[in-house]
Amino acid sequence: MSYNGSGTFQINTAGQPVITGTVISSTAFNALTADLATGLSTAITKDGQTTTTARIVFAQGINSSLATDTSSGATGSIFTAGGIGAAKAVYVGTTLTVAGLSTFTGAIAVDSVTDSSSTTTGSIHTDGGLGVAKAAYIGTTLNVAGLASFTATSAVLLAKGTTGQRPSPTSGMLRFNTTTTEFEGYNGTAWSSVGGAALSNDTSTATNVFPLFANATTGTATTLFTGNAFLLYKPSTGELQARVPVASNGIVVNSQSVATSYTIATGYSGTSAGPITIASGQSVTVSSGSRWVVL
């Protein structure tokens, strides 16, 4: 072998080196040319004719002056049919194109900080869908242009926070309010309760509203009923109007003291079971044509 195993070429031919004044024999010369032929045949040729038979170690790396981007697995500065193993970091200055499956056993970090605005923008985009076997965390906004389908049998955990932590509202927002312990949504004008009516202690509305009745006494009421014009309530005065009040136990009860001034309007009459006293500074006004009977 003309190389010593460490990359040094050596002459193995007897009669070498040639001594001045001696005759070079054909045997020695032919052996020398055979050694040279063996050495050259095992060298790497710069025109690409040589196929290496073992791994080549490059102590200082490989530099290529070819500046054309690769467009396939057989173009570019360096290409291999048998894959590439990199023990250290790999830096790609422009585009990394992978035609087959890419398997990453560690994390992938992308430094781009521009938010995606479509399916072809952002740090990572794919035309073939995305399958995630573990949890997916979205740091800001998740935009879904199509149907969002949740097939799990457990639950969907909504955003939650206090009333003071409500975000800048947009129509269609849904969250859980930890202050009111209710689900709420933004309807384009205000935040309102979801899944039930928000209760209000109203003592100022001067128009009639409709008292509601539920189809359940415990749990969740699925249906609410109102009496239309047959049953009305005026929050500002506390008046309750009914078409026909029925005392199913046979007793109609009234207070023996008029605590707040009241006017019996024209077209109406009133009855009270006495004795009746009128509180200091208060009065009962009976309109013309009306009556107030104290029994």
Domain ranges (residues) in the chain:
201-244, 246-294
12-32 pLDDT, tens per residue?
A: 777 788 888 888 888 888 888
Alpha carbon distance 225, 211 (integer Å) = 8
CA distance 2 to 35: 6
Whole-number pLDDT of residue 220? 66
pLDDT score recorded for residue 19: 85
Q: What is the pTM of this model?
A: 0.48
pLDDT of 161 reads: 96
Is residue 280 predicted with pLDDT exceeding 90? Answer: yes
Among the listed residues 88, 80, 21, 22, the one whose alpha carbon sits nearest the alpha carbon of residue 52: 80
Segment 158-179 shows an average pLDDT of: 95
At residue 1 the predicted structure's pLDDT band, cuts being 50, 70 and 90, is low
Residue 257 phi, psi dihedral angles, 5° rounding = -130, 130
What's the confidence (pLDDT) of residue 198? 65
* Confidence at residue 288, expressed as pLDDT on a 0 to 100 scale: 95
Taking residues 99-114, report their average pLDDT: 83
pLDDT digits (tens, 9 = 90+) for 229-273: 888 989 898 899 898 999 999 999 999 999 999 999 999 999 999
